[in-house]
Structure 1
Amino acid sequence: MERAEPVERATPGPEMEIVHLLRAVAVDLGRHSTRFAQHNGMHPTDVRALIALMDAARAGETTTAGQLGAALGLNSAGTTALVDRLERAGHVRRVRDALDRRKVTIEVAEQAVALGWAHFGPLIDRAVDLLRGYDERELAAVRGFLTGMLKPVVPDLRAAP
């Protein structure tokens, strides 16, 4: 595996300024998410699970408990405890597949969506307002950058050699 040469740390430039801004945004979003979890008696993993489930639903995909656990890096017991906790709180529901009753998917309850919008809505609105000020070329650049940042840099240590 080839290693990229490290970015020159002593030479600040516009790229490093953007990297530092991205880090600041990530830290701020983490704090915002932590406040949401604490205020609603949730664990940070609960919030990550709800986000994963909503992202899947937005993509038109259903999610089983096994798929959710894999996405969050949880074992079977941890996933069951997570889903049980979210279900007891009324944030998710287990839904049996109409064609294969053995298959159970996890869906986010409207109550959880409303709760999330109440907390994260102003932040989302601010992001949308900022993005509306960009032209198509600028939006494509932002999209390309963020998509590139989502690609794994470090190999998955859980993967078989």
Structure 2
Amino acid sequence: MYRRRDTRRELLVAEITAELRRYCVDAQHVGHAFAGQHGLGATDLQALIAVMDAELLGEPITPGRLAEHLDLSSGSVTALIDRLERAGHIRRDRDTTDRRKILLHYAEQGATVAMDFFRPLGERTDRVMADFPDEELEVVYRFLTAMGVSLREHRDAIRATPAAPPPRPEAG
């Protein structure tokens, strides 16, 4: 399964790949801990991240875009939004330029809960980044951005691939 890595580059690529895999698993554990402590399911957490990311970009997400992002039906995303709104995590607002359009935002209570939970991680992250000069952070940013694009392209490709039918039992 594993072969000997002959070059420094091959070894470095293998180590980076392993670190990315471990980082993803550890990040999932942290996300699941947050979700578990606040009675959220995996889809709830994905929805909150999508709402937060959209707000950080200055483009609040609509229920329709959230449904597309999460690959949910209209009814399912409505139930999800209702549940997150009742729990104080998000709020619905009408778009000021088009009153027919609904925009989703992090609610103050939800933002406070998330900040309280993730603040220690943010402080740790800040300490790690402080050890790197701007030029190195620019390289890391470029690398992570490219890796994210690659991962999302793969995700979209496998979403578009129909699932294989289950194996048929052998006649015996």
TM-score band, normalised by shorter chain: 0.7 to 0.9
Match of 2:3 in 1: 10
Q: Which residue in 2 is equivalent to 1:157?
A: 159
User: Which amino acid in 2 is paired with 1:134?
Assistant: F
CA distance in 2, matches of 1:35, 1:74: 24
User: Percent of aligned positions with the same letter in both sequences?
Assistant: 39
* Pairing of 1:18-37 with structure 2 (within 5 A): 18-37=16-35
Greater CA radius of gyration, 1 or 2?
A: 2
The 3-state SS of whatever aligns with 1:157 is: helix
* Structure 1 residues not aligned, in runs of 5+: 1-7
Once the 2 structures are TM-superposed, how far is the Cα of residue 9 of structure 1 from its aligned partner? 4.7
Matched, 1:112 2:105: no
Matches within 5 A, 1:9-88: 9-12=2-5, 13-88=11-86
Q: Alpha-carbon deviation of 1:153?
A: 4.1
User: Against the structure 1 CA distance between its residues 9 and 140, is the aligned structure 2 distance closer, same or farther, given a 3 Å change threshold?
Assistant: farther
Query: 1:93 maps to what in 2?
Result: 91
Matches of 1:136 and 1:78 in 2, distance apart? 44
**TM-score, structure 2 length as denominator?**
0.82
Who is 1:136 aligned against?
A: 134
Cα offset, 1:114, TM superposition: 1.0
Distance 2:124 2:94 in 1: 38
Task: Supply the distance in 2 between the matched residues of 1:31 and 1:16 (Cα, whole angstroms).
Answer: 23
TM-score normalised to structure 1 length: 0.87
2:57 and 2:23 map into 1 onto residues whose CA distance is 25
Deviations 1:4-39 (A, max 9, x none): xxxx95134121111111111110110111011111
1:75-132: CA deviation from partner (whole Å, max 9, x where unpaired): 2122111101101111111111223221111111011111111111111211121111
Q: Look up the SS of the partner of 1:143 in the other structure.
A: helix
1:45-99, CA deviations, whole angstroms, 9 ceiling, x for partnerless residues?
1111111111111111121101111122222122111101101111111111223
SS in structure 2 at match of 1:87:
helix
